[in-house]
Amino acid sequence: MKRFAFALTALSLLAACGVQGDLARPDPLWNSEDAIRQECERQRQANETLDPRCARYESGVGQ
């Protein structure tokens, strides 16, 4: 039983190895334009680094 618990603990600790940095969030499956526009607005208001997709809305091309 101790071996099983040790193995389970070791596997759970190693589960995320190799994942470095933040994971990119994929685009939504529906209403993606509205969701991206809202996320860009939220990032602007919070003074966060803007997602590269926000450039389309700043230039007025996506509107």
Q: For the chain, what are the domain ranges?
A: 31-63
How does pLDDT run along the chain (63 residues), one tens digit per residue?
Answer: 889 998 888 888 877 676 666 777 777 777 788 888 888 999 999 999 888 888 887 765 544
Rounded to an integer, what distance in angstroms lies between the CA atom of residue 54 and that of residue 50? 6
Q: Are 51 and 40 in contact (CB under 8 A)?
A: yes
Instruction: Extract the tokens encoding 9.
Output: 């603990």
How distant, in Å, are the alpha carbons of 20, 40, 56, 59, 62 from that of 34?
30, 10, 13, 16, 11
Q: What is the pLDDT of residue 19?
A: 67
Q: What is the pLDDT of residue 4?
A: 92
